[in-house]
């Protein structure tokens, strides 16, 4: 049943739901990313604030110069919910309406209409985390840490990140123009793009030398663990002795997916822990006994590596499983859980922060590489200085291992 049809049959439902949220507990049992959470003892808002909301609506409907601007209960409710969550001051906690939630669920499966760009919020700025290879954002030359200043006719400084995402996405074939501020440039850079259907193949592979394989993970989706397992099988079947794992410009994704990938390289032990205020938001994630790939590994990271990719890099660094090459990662180390609300909308809430096995917090800090190398990702050995260094590190380890065997 559509939202509008639902509202027409149950007049005032959304307003009533908002009042329930304001005045007392919903008593709802909602499913989060890793379990169920029971809301209890939610403190009510004072009655004067609800009265102010009603008074504000009345003033707008009576005095606003454009009498065509009247909003439905649905629109006002969703606007109030987004404003309330935004007032919390966390750019990653957000309310999404039913249509937006459906799009979010499609994204998790690895397909959506848009530009192929992942964005984040840092120091009050909307920043490009990374463009996805082969997408409109990648083709026009957007780069990690570009600050998005304007989208079409709207200056988005200070905007909620969810509203910016909504503007960037759209029907394939539609056009959008964005302006970004880039370090080292005095003027804003203008990029005109046509939206496409973005299909994310999260894992790609190739051979660097006879002994060293290269695997790139562009994003952690539901399909990533199986795709990674297949890529590693190809590497092993072709007698690869070492591996370069490229996590540059990888904005993250699903927690379970990155833990599963780390499991292929770690023989048991901690991968990451999450710590929050409630018991269900505190958990340690361990690798299973046994290793799929035992050879030396170099992991490539840069400022476009965030969230789930930082978990893998941090675990490998703390567990001495790989040498990290490149530049400091983005520093997005928080956990968002989806709470589904009764009429199909959703609430993404930051419930915890990630900690590496040694207890280092990732959020706002990032992961430092063992070997710092400046440069841009190309994926081509002839002009990618970071990739060259990663290969050098793996080959040096293989030489030492060969010498040790005599």
- Backbone φ/ψ region at 203: left (φ over 0), alpha (ψ -120 to 50), beta: beta
- Residue in 41, 35, 83, 42 with CA at minimum distance from that of residue 276: 35
DSSP track, 386-405: HHHHHHHHHHHHHHHHHHHH
Phi, then psi, of 257 in degrees rounded to 5 = -65, -45
Instruction: Please answer whether residues 130 and 249 qualify as being in contact, where contact means their C-beta atoms are separated by less than 8 angstroms.
Output: yes
Distances (CA, A) of 321 to 145, 163, 264, 317: 29, 40, 11, 6
Phi, then psi, of 331 in degrees rounded to 5 = 95, 40
DSSP track, 41-60: -PPPPPHHHHHHHHHHHHHH
Partner residues linked to 189 by β-bridges: 180
Spatial distance between the Cα atoms of 149 and 154, rounded to a whole number of angstroms: 9
Instruction: Please answer whether residues 219 and 258 qualify as being in contact, where contact means their C-beta atoms are separated by less than 8 angstroms.
Output: no
- Spacing of C-alpha 400 from chain mean position: 38
Q: What angle do CA 15, 21, 26 make, to 5 degrees?
A: 110
Phi, then psi, of 182 in degrees rounded to 5 = -120, 135
Instruction: Please answer whether residues 116 and 135 qualify as being in contact, where contact means their C-beta atoms are separated by less than 8 angstroms.
Output: yes
**Token pair belonging to 99:** 């249509």
Most distant pair of Cα atoms in the chain: their distance? 89
Residues contacting residue 262 through CB under 8 Å, at least 6 positions apart: 271, 287, 311, 312, 315, 316
Spatial distance between the Cα atoms of 332 and 119, rounded to a whole number of angstroms: 11
Catalogue the active-site residues: 307, 318, 332
């Amino acid at each position: 049943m559509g939202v509008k049809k639902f509202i027409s049959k149950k007049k005032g439902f959304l307003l009533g739901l908002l009042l329930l949220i304001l005045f007392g507990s919903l008593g709802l049992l909602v499913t989060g990313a890793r379990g169920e959470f029971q809301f209890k003892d939610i403190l009510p808002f004072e009655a004067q604030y609800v009265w102010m909301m009603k008074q504000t609506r009345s003033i707008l409907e009576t005095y606003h110069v454009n009498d065509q601007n009247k909003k439905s209960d649905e629109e006002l409710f969703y606007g109030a919910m987004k404003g309330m969550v935004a007032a919390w001051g966390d750019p990653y906690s957000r309310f999404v309406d039913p249509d937006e939630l459906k799009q979010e669920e499609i994204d998790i499966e690895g397909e959506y209409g848009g530009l192929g760009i992942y964005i984040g919020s840092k120091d009050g700025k909307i920043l490009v985390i990374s463009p996805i290879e082969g997408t409109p954002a990648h083709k026009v030359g957007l780069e990690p840490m570009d600050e998005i200043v304007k989208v079409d006719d709207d200056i988005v400084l200070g905007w909620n990140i969810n509203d910016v995402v909504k503007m960037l996405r759209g029907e394939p074939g539609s056009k959008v123009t964005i302006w970004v501020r880039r370090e080292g440039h005095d003027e804003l850079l203008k990029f005109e793009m046509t939206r496409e259907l973005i299909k994310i193949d999260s894992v790609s592979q190739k051979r660097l030398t006879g002994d060293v394989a290269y695997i790139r993970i562009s994003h952690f989706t539901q399909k990533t663990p199986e795709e990674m397992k297949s890529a590693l099988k190809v590497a092993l079947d072709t007698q690869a002795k070492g591996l370069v794992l490229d996590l540059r410009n990888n904005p993250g994704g699903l927690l379970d997916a990155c833990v599963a990938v780390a499991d292929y390289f770690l023989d048991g032990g901690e991968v990451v822990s999450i710590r929050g205020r409630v018991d269900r938001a505190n958990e340690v994630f361990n690798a299973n006994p046994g290793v799929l790939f035992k050879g030396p590994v170099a992991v490539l990271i840069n400022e476009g590596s965030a969230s789930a990719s930082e978990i893998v890099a941090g675990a490998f660094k703390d567990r001495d499983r790989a040498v990290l090459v490149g530049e400091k990662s983005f520093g997005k180390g928080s956990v968002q859980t989806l709470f589904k609300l009764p009429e199909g909308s959703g609430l993404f809430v930051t419930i915890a922060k990630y900690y590496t096995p040694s207890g280092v917090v990732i959020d706002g800090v990032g992961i430092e590489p063992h070997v710092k190398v400046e440069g841009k990702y190309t994926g081509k050995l002839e002009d990618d200085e970071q990739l060259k260094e990663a290969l050098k590190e793996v080959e040096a380890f293989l030489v030492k291992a060969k010498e040790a065997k005599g």
